Amino acid sequence: MDKNVMLNQMLYRMEEVFWHELSDCAPWKTEYVGIDFIQAQDVQGKNEDEVIGSCIERIKASGLVEDIDYGIGGRDILLKLRVRGCQLMLKETMLRKSGIKPYNCPVANMIRDQLIEKLGYETTYLADMAADEKSGCCALKVAIFATPDKIGAVSEWSKE
Amino acid sequence: MPILDIMTSRKSIRRYNTDPVPDDLLDRILEAARWAPTGENYQPWRFIVVRDQETRNRIGDLAKVGSGSRMTAWYCLGHMQERFAGIKDEAKRAEVLRFMYSGEVSEFAKKSPVVIAVIGSLMEGSVDVPYDLSAAIENMLLMAHSLGLGGCWVHGPVATTRDAKKFKEILGIPTGMGEYKVIAYVSIGWAAEQRKYPRPKKELQDLVYWEKFGQKERPSHG
């Protein structure tokens, strides 16, 4: 059996039951999924671009994804990620078929973790995840707060 | 007061005056928690009573960032505006929204005379710990209300895995994921606000099915 299919099936079952237990709270509890890999990679960087770029380089090298584009906007708290060719897309498809909107992205978790660990960011939040199995792309909106005073820096993300 | 009246008149209180909560009233609230239903009588709950201002400040800051970060994102996505569309007064709606996305909505541990952290031991073979802890919290809130005190059940500072760890560190709780689960804190104090009650609730007929899921017609019996 394809090991990647097997991995996706196992993650799907875990995320399905986690959602069943916690509903919309499930994504708040899964932010550590994936961080062990990135914490072992000695990511270096003095600013957002360097840390995010270094994370992307290592995640791509691992074979987990084919490519990741990113942009920062929304008064500097919106990190938009576009992930292509992710090896975990199958679990998102399986979740959607069982009526659950995909909610846990290890790729985003890794980048969020390194912003906190390497740059001392106050907190982050995976706000939206749109996995499109037809195009093979996943669009993510991640709120990143460098300092507490960035809480409440609102804008209309639909215009970004 | 009949118990249903206590239940229907209870509101979540987030604004308190500075009067201290006497120990004997606090003890009755904790005693009520002790008698909550618990699977297999495991009683996994532990309670950390906090009066110290500096500790409450740190909890308040954590809650503010936790709730504020999520609500800021929800506002930016347009979700918060939909949720509060029922407030017709534009200025009032804007202020309510700002109160939410700034995180101020969850900051009130700083001004609550007592904060009780509710945690559960995961190490004693206990099952379904969050459910037991939730039952204990309900008992606490009802007892507080029956004594004339206000209270609020607050999940904000422990909602995410990372924040739950920070909360544990503030209170010296072991941080291992297999040791204690932090479910919430309960704030207790003398209310400095009057909230309308009863709150709008769904009708019972919209909530109850008879014999089978979806069966709304009450069958005759006897």
| Number of separate domains in chain B | 1
Residue B182's domain comprises 3-204
The C-alpha atoms of residue A37 and residue B96 are separated, in whole angstroms, by: 41
Residue B129 lies in a domain: yes
Q: Is A29 on the interface with B (CB under 8 A)?
A: yes
Residue B44 lies in a domain: yes
The string of pLDDT tens digits covering residues B75-130 is: 999 999 999 999 999 999 999 999 999 999 999 999 999 999 999 999 877 788 99
User: Which ipTM score applies to this complex?
Assistant: 0.95
Q: Is A147 on the interface with B (CB under 8 A)?
A: no
Q: Which residues on chain B are in Cβ contact (under 8 Å) with A122?
A: 65, 69
The C-alpha atoms of residue A122 and residue B28 are separated, in whole angstroms, by: 38
Tell me which residue has tokens 């907190």: A123
The C-alpha atoms of residue B76 and residue B97 are separated, in whole angstroms, by: 11
Residue B221 lies in a domain: no
Q: What pTM was computed for the model?
A: 0.95
The string of pLDDT tens digits covering residues A27-71 is: 999 999 999 999 999 999 999 999 999 999 999 999 999 999 999
Residue B180 lies in a domain: yes
Using CB atoms, pick whichever of A141, A148, A152 lies closest to residue B101.
Answer: A152
Residue B217 lies in a domain: no
Compute how many other C-beta atoms are within 10 angstroms of the C-beta atom of residue A128. 18
Two tokens, residue B190: 């003398």
- Give the N- to C-terminal CA distance of chain A in Å, as an integer: 42
Residue B8 lies in a domain: yes
CATH at residue B23:
3.40.109.10
Residue B219 lies in a domain: no
Residue B212 lies in a domain: no
The string of pLDDT tens digits covering residues A71-111 is: 999 999 999 999 999 999 999 999 999 999 999 999 999 99
Is B65 in contact with A151 (Cβ distance < 8 A)? yes
Q: Which amino acid, B98?
A: R
Best mutation site among B65, B69, B79 for testing chain A: the one with the most A CBs within 10 Å? Answer: B69
Q: Which domains does chain A have, with CATH numbers?
A: 3-159 (3.30.1380)
Q: Is A116 on the interface with B (CB under 8 A)?
A: yes
Q: Going by C-beta distance under 8 Å and a sequence separation of 6 or more, which residues neighbour residue B67?
A: B100, B103, B105, B106, B156
Q: Is B75 on the interface with A (CB under 8 A)?
A: yes
In a 13 Å sphere around the CA of A132, the CA atoms on its Cβ side amount to 10
